[in-house]
Amino acid sequence: MKFQLAHNSLFAILLRSRWWISFAVALAFAAAARALLPPDYFVVGAIGALPFVIVGAVAAWRQWRAPDPRRVAESLQALRAMPWGAFSGAIEEAFRRDGYTIAAGGSAAVDYELTRNGRVSLVACKRWKAARVGVEPLRELRSAQQQRKADECIYVTTGELTDTAQSFAASNGVRLLHGAELAALLPLTTSGVRPARAARG
pLDDT per residue over 28-60, tens digit each?
988 988 888 888 888 888 888 899 999 999 988
Q: 83 — phi, psi (to 5°)? A: -60, 155
Residue 122: the pLDDT is 96
Distance of CA 179 to the CA centre of its chain: 10
Long-range contact set of residues 76-79: C-beta below 8 Å, sequence gap at least 24: 76/158, 76/179, 76/182, 76/183, 78/188, 79/127, 79/158, 79/182, 79/183, 79/186, 79/188
Residue pair 126/159 in contact by the 8 Å Cβ criterion = yes
pLDDT of residue 75 exceeding 60, the answer is: yes
pTM: 0.60
CA distance 19 to 54: 10
pLDDT of residue 190 exceeding 70, the answer is: no
| Cβ-based neighbours of 200, under 8 Å, separated by 6 or more | 84
Residue pair 25/14 in contact by the 8 Å Cβ criterion = yes
150-189 pLDDT, tens digit per residue, is 999 999 988 888 889 999 999 999 999 888 778 777 765 4
Residue 11: the pLDDT is 81
Half-sphere exposure of 40 (CA within 13 A, CB side): 0
CA distance 59 to 124: 27
